[in-house]
Chains A and B, each alone.
Chain A
Amino acid sequence: IRWHILFPRSEQTEAKMFCRLPSSIASINRSQSVPIQKRGYAIVSNTTGATGQVDTLNSITAAMPPRRVVTLLPGDGIGPELVQSVVGIFQAADVPITWERFDNVFDVAKQKENPESLAQIVSSIARNRVCLKGPLYTPPGTGSRNLTLRKALDLFANVVPCTSIPSLNTRHKNVPIDLVVVRENTQGEYSGHEQVVEPGVVQSLKVVTDRSSKRIAQFAFDYAVREGRKKVTCIHKANIQKLTDGLFLRVCRETAQRYPDIKYNEMIIDNCCMQLVMNPSQFDVMVTGNLYGNLIANVGTGLVGGAGVTGGANFGSDFAIFEVGARHLGLDIAGQGKANPTGLIQSSLMMLKHMDLHQHAKRIESALKTVISVRKIWTADLGGTATTRDVTQAIINELDNQSDVD
């Protein structure tokens, strides 16, 4: 029996809830304060559990429609095309999701933003808890809107899995790569505290706190446990930045001790980048700060096929935003049908798994694998000639084939 809760819940409500749970589930949820397990779902699936009990909570929610609402932000650049692809595929796969769309957030022609839209988007995501988005354009000289969203919703963990895709023509095609970058996404080098000390001298502060380090380390290990991963590597530069990265390193070590079943090791960032291009199979989950995570995620993405193939997710305690792994606007290829939808599809699969829609995720994943690895319908970035629409249609056809077989 799955317990899905309709409204945002406080700690007290949760405690009361858990009293009524079967003991196995109650013990899992009570043992650690785990952001990824504290999910607030807006929709409930019908309890047709083995016991056949009608629980109190479900009677409240039985009247609700069984579809989940997800915020959708097509964004700019190649965003709209990628998002369209996912929407089409979800429709073909009968995914029970209703989209709450926000188009035209930023008027590129006028270089002006509708000031209310960002606030609306934030409240929409707060309500729906899950969002799928494309990249938002940042005009030069202003703050990144992607960053604003992340800060407003306190999405502190950026997860970018980089897995080799069979039969792609990359340099590392004979090297099995299956690593996940878990990047602290709220502070570190990108804290935004900069000052002109005097003309010609600028200082920028890198801030590392105990709290943020604990959060991300905890997240990384919980992620490793949940996904059945074996090893977590902490990436740092504590030999030079002894206080800041030293703090991060210490927190990671302490967290590692609470997970004796997960192997833990450490690596300095420059050595890490070198090892990534020489021997990437050695890496599993990598936990690191903001800047290093950015670099490693991009190196990892480059290893497995480029910006078009990796998905990414941004997690907070209560919300999640899913977008491509390597956040590039692709303005040079926007609107030409050249964009590779694989990356955003991978993110949408992460989203489906996050929402416990595993069956749908399996179907779409299988279709994606067939199209990319078996039938090799590739867009230009992978060396092929297909358009975004070709790839999307091929996946939809695969899904139809699957349902015929069922």
Chain B
Amino acid sequence: MLRFPISNSFAASKTPTYTRSFSAKREPIKATLIPGDGIGPEISDATVEIIKQAGVPIEWERVVVSPETGVSQEVIDSVERNRVALKGPLATPIGKGHTSLNLALRKQFNLYVNVRPSVSIPGFKTLYDDVDLVVMRENTEGEYSGIEFSVVPGLAESVKLITKEASTRVADYAFKYAQRHQRKRVTAVHKANIMRLSDGMFIESCRQVADRWPSIKYEELVIDNATMKLTMNPNQFDVLVLPNLYGDIVSDLCAGLIGGLGLTPSANIGQEVAIFEAVHGTAPDIAGQNKANPTALLLSACMMINHLGMHEHGAKIQNAVLETIREGKTLTGDLGGKSSTSDFAAAIISKFRD
């Protein structure tokens, strides 16, 4: 049940207080670029080149976020000024001292929803051909509040925080998005039968928001049932809205359905700022070898371009990427081919000249 044009599925909606005026000859729009670690720099270069060749008037302001520098004031100022940012993969150590840099960025700009479309890519075959869903994940609280403590040795506790405000905000966004992109159904996923107060509050907030959107169908599903259904029959899902942890897991599950993180775009939306990112890892084993697949970052850039109102450009680049994958002649290693990053980029650019 693949929708055409596909571009709608990848478009994040505009943030409410964000206005741009567009004319034929316009000033280039400034956007922050965070290349990231590992394969980050090379896929960022490929993306920037492709966007330039597509004729999209974006001027990139490159800043560095790394475990050494963290999220510095320079980065914060740049993103606040430009209002949009494109980010490559950042490394996160497991179980160690400093918090995840991704989390730090989200907290800094209060990026309250993470939008992750999962659409089956024609020409890249997985066991699931008919996936077309969008995962809306609450991005600020829940299980990732970072509040943990150990009262006595051998006992650790972690606080999961659910507020009405955050739940309402993400549900609101989900319904607005659904309406803007002609989506028919929003499903809230929860475990309120066991976590009665916390997830109970989440779905209560979702219900209240749903009442304000009578034209969009609303339903609720327990997380275990939802994961089973996603594994067996994901084409029954449209827009999913979830609290933080479930959203994290389900969005990765959905990425697996369509081919993995190397093909999945993602957007983090806040009131003032939007950061579009590739969610795959830094792949240190292939970094610097011109082997990496830039698709995820490219599609995220398309989401950004749509977000800026340049839907035609966004669709053009997106279709070029999908067509290149469908052709299958210049695929990178992770897609089963032997081409390099630059070959893949060149193939996409050649589509613009057609």
Q: Which A positions have Cβ atoms within 8 angstroms of B?
A: 138, 140-141, 144, 147, 170-172, 189-190, 192, 194-196, 199-211, 237-247, 249, 268-271, 273-278, 291, 294-295, 297-299, 301-303, 306-307, 326-328
Contacts and interface: CB of A to CB of B under 8 A. Distances in A.
Interface string B101-124: 001000000000000000000000
A184 to B, nearest CB: 14
Interface string B221-238: 001110111111000000
A301 B95 contact: no
A210 B154 contact: yes
Given A240-B103, A273-B253, A278-B256, A190 B144 contact: no
B24 interface: no
A302 B230 contact: yes
B148 interface: yes
Contact of A301 (B156, B194, B228): B228
A249 to B, nearest CB: 7
Interface in B194-234: 194-198, 200-201, 223-225, 227-232
Interface of B: 92-96, 100, 103, 126-128, 143-144, 146, 148-150, 153-165, 191, 193-198, 200-201, 223-225, 227-232, 245, 248-253, 255-257, 259-261
Nearest to A292: B249
Contacts of B156: 207-209, 243-244, 246-247
A278 B198 contact: no
Contacts of B249: 269-270, 273, 295
Contacts of A240: 100, 103, 143-144, 146
7 contacts: A189-B160, A200-B165, A205-B160, A268-B94, A270-B251, A277-B256, A302-B230
A241 B127 contact: no
Contacts of B260: 274, 278
Interface of B is mostly: mixed
Most B CB within 10 A of own CB, among A209, A210, A270, A327:
A270
Given A277-B231, A277-B253, A302-B231, A201 B161 contact: yes
Contacts of B158: 205-206, 208, 241, 243-244
Contacts of B161: 201-203
Nearest to B160: A204
Given A144-B194, A269-B249, A302-B231, A239 B256 contact: no
A211 B156 CA distance: 11
Nearest to B165: A200
A104 to B, nearest CB: 22
Contacts of B197: 194-196, 202, 204
A243 B148 contact: yes
A274 B252 contact: yes
Most buried by A among B96, B162, B194, B250: B194
A43 to B, nearest CB: 36
A319 B224 CA distance: 26
A192 to B, nearest CB: 8
A327 B96 CA distance: 36
Contacts of B196: 141, 194
Nearest to B94: A239
Given A170-B232, A243-B149, A294-B223, 7 more contacts: A207-B156, A211-B154, A238-B94, A243-B157, A270-B248, A271-B252, A274-B253
